[in-house]
Amino acid sequence: MKKITSKLLMLLSVVFLLISCEDDPEPNNPVTITGIPATASIPAGGTVGPVTATISAPDGLATFSITKDGASFANETLNGETSASKTFSYTATAADAGKNLVFEFTATDRDGSSAKVTHVLTVGAEETTVRVTDNITGDVTWTADKTYILAGRIFVLDGASLTIEAGTIIKGEAGSGANATALIIARGGQIFANGTAESPIIFTSVADEIEPGMIASPNLDPTINGLWGGVLVLGRAPGSFAGDVSEVQIEGIPASDQNGRYGGDNPEDNSGVIRYISIRHGGANIGEGNEINGLTLGGVGSGTIIENVEVIANQDDGIEWFGGTVSVTNAIVWNSSDDAIDTDQAWSGTLDNFIVVCGSETDHALEIDGPEGSFIAGHTVKNGTVVGSAAAELGDFRDGANGIFENIYFFGFSDPATTEGRGDLSISGDKSLANLASGALKFNTLEVTLPTGVSLATVFRNGTDASATDVALHANTVGADKSAFAGWSWTAVAGNLDALK
């Protein structure tokens, strides 16, 4: 009996073991979430992420959700995959400043198991200065509540657009050579800089302590130049280039940078809109005798709108056109160190209503160059007032120069006889003289207030005196409408236009 009982107990133990093994549920496999940092800090207006969360569940994922401060932020139903990647980003609002935002990430599998990860985002005060280090791609807006610092050559690339709000201040860091700072609108890129007379857009140097709402710099003299580069707009409109090539590299940008190409076959090319902008203290040197202009227009097409532009204290030219068809209305240049207005490579647009205020280093108020290739086109420069200086020349019309120049008033220049030929309007080269004879280079209704004892023929050479009249100071009947520059331009605020008619 004892033996039977022992055997029975052994049998019952085996049966119990088998039953226990059959009733044991399969263990739940863990759900995991990785890739989410525990904390981060950004200013209001800044963005955290994108951060990639990697979630896994051997039993199959069912849902993934995110909450922000306990409220639902994002929810997604999954289809049983065992792993997935989800990106997360958040842009802090002004209302988030000073807060610690708590984000919770939860992944659940089909068996009901879950994992949770917490991320605490600390939001500081909104930044008022943005340092721009990368080229512009996509559609980007610079807002008037921030100051933008150009940290190098910043291109608006082909297919991209940069919108700049009225009143925005953009400052270039110091640099020369390959490190010169500039804003360049590459071919196919666009700029929409829509300043207003009440709130112009100002491009200047980081050394300038100007703040929003100011017109005049509080600390930089309007003669200080070369502190940064300038603004360049490049398009696909045609020009007349040496060798009759269709495109070339713009001066001021190293040849190794292909974004510096301009020219093409689209005269109506559209690079955007520029209105009410002031460009100051630029013209950084990138090589021996090679500086960046205040505003460079290379192959810019007629679809582009440019009006109400000021350039102050540029180490090279104020505004220079290289081919293209764009027209410019209401332009003012003060204290350029080379030429105020410079045209090249058969630019074929119109400059209408302009003022030049020459400085002590200004070379020519007007420098007009002829085409470099076989393509011939002329431009029109009209309705201008040119204030001279002892060192400046009224105009230098170089070989092949053509176009129409009319309704321009000059005063304040020196006697050419006592300043080694400065203070006159000269025409050089057989092609320019032939264009003058044929009417391809034409002057209409020029007025000048001459130095005492100086004749018209001494100032206006090669027979151009026939188109000129000597008038008393500010008794001119032609010239610029200075009201276009009132209020928004530093030149006007400084009093340089007060005496003009």
What is the DSSP annotation of 178-215? GG--EEEE-TT-EEEEE--SSS-EEEEETT----TT-S
pLDDT of residue 289: 60
What number is the average pLDDT over the span 203-213?
Answer: 97
**What's the CA gap between 339 and 361, in Å, rounded?**
9
Fold held by 32-124: Immunoglobulin-like (2.60.40)
Angle at alpha carbon of residue 398, lines to 394 and 402, rounded to 5°? 95
Tens of pLDDT, residue by residue over 359-384, are 999 999 999 999 999 999 999 999 99
Does pLDDT of 20 surpass 50?
Answer: no
What number is the average pLDDT over the span 73-92?
Answer: 94
Q: Which two tokens stand for residue 459?
A: 């100032």
Does pLDDT of 22 surpass 60?
Answer: no
Contact 267, 302 (CB under 8 A): yes
Consecutive H or E run containing 433: helix 430-438
Which among 342, 346, 288 is positioned nearest to 314, based on CA atoms?
342
pLDDT of residue 5: 42
Does pLDDT of 34 surpass 50?
Answer: yes
pLDDT of residue 501: 87
Confidence of residue 238 (pLDDT cuts 50, 70, 90): very high
Does pLDDT of 415 surpass 90?
Answer: yes
Contact 277, 202 (CB under 8 A): yes
**What's the CA gap between 378 and 400, in Å, rounded?**
10
Residue 89 makes CB contacts below 8 A (sequence gap 6+) with 47, 48, 49, 50, 51
pLDDT of residue 126: 84
Does pLDDT of 8 surpass 60?
Answer: no
Provide Rg for the chain, Cα atoms: 34
Kindly list the domain boundaries of the chain, sorted by start residue: 32-124, 129-493
Tens of pLDDT, residue by residue over 322-346, are 999 999 999 999 999 999 999 999 9
pLDDT of residue 26: 55
Q: Which two tokens stand for residue 258?
A: 């292909």
pLDDT of residue 175: 83
* Beta-carbon count within 10 A of 403 CB: 23
**What's the CA gap between 50 and 307, in Å, rounded?**
40
